[in-house]
Each structure stands twice: as structure tokens, then as C-alpha cells.
């Protein structure tokens, strides 16, 4: 597989050629390397790290510093995949100049190749200015986690005609402003199909049906590392969570039994350094000695 970094131009070409885009989240170098080897075209350093890495209830507590740190790690691990960094809550909503600076940090300090932000028409001016400044932008419409409280929870969006028409207008506004792709999250398949057909830029779905130009999943979800709650739109392509628990349990058993580390995992000195080490052996029930300890310990050569 080519090690040439995937660019925004490549992603647009993939839509034009009818080639589906594979996108996953990752938050460190190890998972980024695995995603890269698996053939992911895009790696998103999502503000979902607030939930899957930091253990928060939502994404709202994630900071720009958090995203910069994790993006830097992901970029080290991924050689081919295009790396896009999320702009976290209130890093771009309040002030245009601050938004420009924060987006710049994600590229300059984090090493991302583009940024992603939530929202439609209301952020078209920002998208335009970012793109004109050399910062590629991916949009995000539908179920936008940073608006979880305004939406009354994590609910499918665009079910009504009015909602659907607004999301379509938002998608068209983002394309006109220069966005190179749009994530559609938690919308009916009928809406994602219309938007995908209406736009010349790729749509990447999550809970938006099969008609998008690509798909994105949180890597912890697709690997089956969580089993407490599996959303309807998630398919677990592996069950690594139970495997990990079993492996740690087996490790604990061997540690407690004294069978790990074994000889195969042990280093030896080239000469005798100290006196022979004491080794616990089975006591002789007939030999208690004066203090009751005789027969409990023996020695073995180094």
C-alpha cells in the first residue's frame, strides 16, 4: 500500500470516482498505526476522546490543548491516512479571530492536515476564512455532539421536513464556503442520500445509512472494546473487550501462581554476583525445628 499521505484533493477525487472513503477515530500513535495498516483513508482525532479516553459523559470538556496533544501522537503513528483534528466546544463559536488561531494551532502544533467543526450556515463565514487562510475544513451536520443539550440528548436529527431542509441548506452553505467534506451523523438515510447527491464534496456518514460517500466509526466501537452500550449504527468488527479482560485475568493468575515470568522471560548475569537466592519449597511436615521454620526454605544455584 502506498505511503503517500492522503490529501483533501484525493478525497474529492474518490467521490468523483465512486470510491468509498474509510474513516476512523484514533487518539494515540499505536491505534493510529493500526488504522493506517488497516487501510483507513482518514483518521479523525475526535473530541469523542472526552468520552472514550477521559471518561467524561460528553465531549464538552475537551480543550484545544487536549486535541493538540492527541493529534501530535496520531500524526506520529499514521504515515498514509489524512489526519483531521476536531475543533472542540467553544474553540470557534464565540470569536472569529480566536477560532482562526485555534484552528491554526491544530495544524501548526498538532500536525493535522485539516480541521473539523460542527454547524452549518452560522459558521459559513468562518469556514470561508479558514479555507482562504490555507486550513482545509471538514463540516459536521445532523447529530452534533457539542449541541447535545440544545438537542435534548443524543437524538436522530432531520426526521421532520423542516429539519431535513435546514440540514440540506447547511450542507450546501458549507460546500459553498469551501469545506472539502461533511460528516453526516444521526440522520435518516433518505436525507443523507439527498445531500450526498446534491453535493460535489464527499459526505461521510455515521448513523446516516449506506448512501454516503464514506463511513466513520469510533475505533473503540468497531473493535468491540465497549460492551456496556452499543449504538444502533455501530457494528463491532471484533470483540477485543472480552478478549482483553480474559488476557488480563490470565496474566493475574500466572502472577499469583508464580509461573510468570518463566525462564523464557528471564535474564541471567554472566557471573555469580551475589549469594544464591532463597527459594520457597514445600515444607517437610515432619521437620519443624525449634522455631517451626525448618524445611520451609531452600536455596538453588544462580
Of the residues 236, 258, 293, the one at which a domain ends = 236
Based on the fold, state whether residues 33 and 163 are members of the same structural domain: yes
Assess whether 74 and 144 both reside in one domain. Answer: yes
Residue 116 pairs in a beta bridge with 86, 138
Neighbours of 270 (CB within 10 A): 5
User: Which domain range does residue 280 map to?
Assistant: 273-302
The pLDDT assigned to 294 comes to 45
Specify whether 73 is located in the same domain as 220: yes
Cα separation, 137 vs 123, whole angstroms: 11
pLDDT confidence bin for 159, thresholds 50/70/90:
very high
Total domains, the chain: 2
This prediction has a pTM of 0.89
In a domain, 231, yes or no: yes
Instruction: Establish if 198 belongs to a structural domain.
Output: yes
Domain assignment present for residue 76? The answer is: yes
Partnered with residue 137 across adjacent β-strands are 115
Q: How far apart are CA 274 and CA 271, in angstroms?
A: 9
Instruction: With respect to residue 148, please indicate whether it lies within any of the assigned structural domains.
Output: yes
175, 298: one domain: no
Of 236, 263, 284, the position where a domain reaches its end is 236
Report pLDDT for 261. 96
Q: Which of 63, 10, 18, 77 is nearest to 41 (CA)?
A: 10
Say yes or no: 175 and 292 in one domain. no
- When the pLDDT of each residue in the chain is averaged and rounded to a whole number, the result is 91
Q: What is the pLDDT of residue 280?
A: 60
Residue numbers annotated as active site: 185
**What pLDDT digit, counting tens, does each position of 90-104 carry?**
999 999 999 999 999
Say whether pLDDT at 301 is over 50.
no
pLDDT band for 150, please (50, 70, 90 cuts).
confident
Angle 196-238-193 from CA coordinates, rounded to 5°: 10
Asked if pLDDT for residue 295 goes beyond 50, the answer is no
Same domain, 31 and 165: yes
Amino acid at each position: 500500500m502506498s505511503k503517500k499521505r492522503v490529501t483533501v484533493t484525493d478525497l474529492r477525487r474518490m467521490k468523483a470516482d465512486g470510491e468509498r472513503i474509510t474513516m476512523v477515530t484514533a487518539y494515540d500513535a499505536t491505534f493510529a498505526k493500526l488504522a493506517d495498516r488497516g487501510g483507513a483513508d482518514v483518521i479523525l482525532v475526535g473530541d469523542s476522546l472526552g468520552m472514550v479516553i477521559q471518561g467524561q459523559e460528553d465531549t464538552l470538556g475537551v480543550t484545544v490543548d487536549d486535541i493538540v496533544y492527541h493529534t501530535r501522537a496520531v500524526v506520529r503513528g499514521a504515515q498514509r491516512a489524512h489526519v483531521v483534528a476536531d475543533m472542540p466546544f467553544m474553540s470557534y463559536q464565540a470569536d472569529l479571530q480566536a477560532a482562526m488561531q485555534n484552528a491554526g494551532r491544530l495544524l501548526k502544533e498538532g500536525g493535522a492536515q485539516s480541521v473539523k467543526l460542527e454547524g452549518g450556515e452560522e459558521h459559513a463565514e468562518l469556514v470561508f476564512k479558514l479555507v482562504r487562510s490555507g486550513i482545509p475544513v471538514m463540516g459536521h451536520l445532523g447529530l452534533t455532539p457539542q449541541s447535545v443539550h440544545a438537542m435534548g440528548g443524543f437524538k436522530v436529527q432531520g426526521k421532520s421536513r423542516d429539519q431535513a431542509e435546514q440540514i440540506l441548506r447547511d450542507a450546501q452553505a458549507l460546500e459553498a464556503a469551501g469545506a472539502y467534506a461533511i460528516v453526516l451523523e444521526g440522520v435518516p438515510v433518505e436525507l443523507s442520500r439527498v445531500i450526498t447527491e446534491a453535493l460535489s464534496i464527499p459526505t461521510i456518514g455515521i448513523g446516516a445509512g449506506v448512501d454516503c460517500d464514506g463511513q466513520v466509526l469510533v475505533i473503540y466501537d468497531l473493535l468491540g472494546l465497549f460492551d456496556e452500550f452499543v449504538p444502533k449504527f455501530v457494528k463491532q468488527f471484533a470483540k477485543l473487550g472480552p478478549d482483553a479482560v480474559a488476557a488480563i485475568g490470565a496474566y493475574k493468575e500466572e502472577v499469583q501462581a508464580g509461573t510468570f515470568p518463566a525462564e523464557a522471560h528471564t535474564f541471567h548475569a554472566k557471573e555469580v554476583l551475589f549469594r544464591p537466592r532463597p527459594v520457597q519449597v514445600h515444607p517437610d511436615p515432619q521437620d519443624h525445628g525449634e522455631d517451626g521454620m525448618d524445611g520451609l526454605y531452600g536455596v538453588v544455584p544462580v
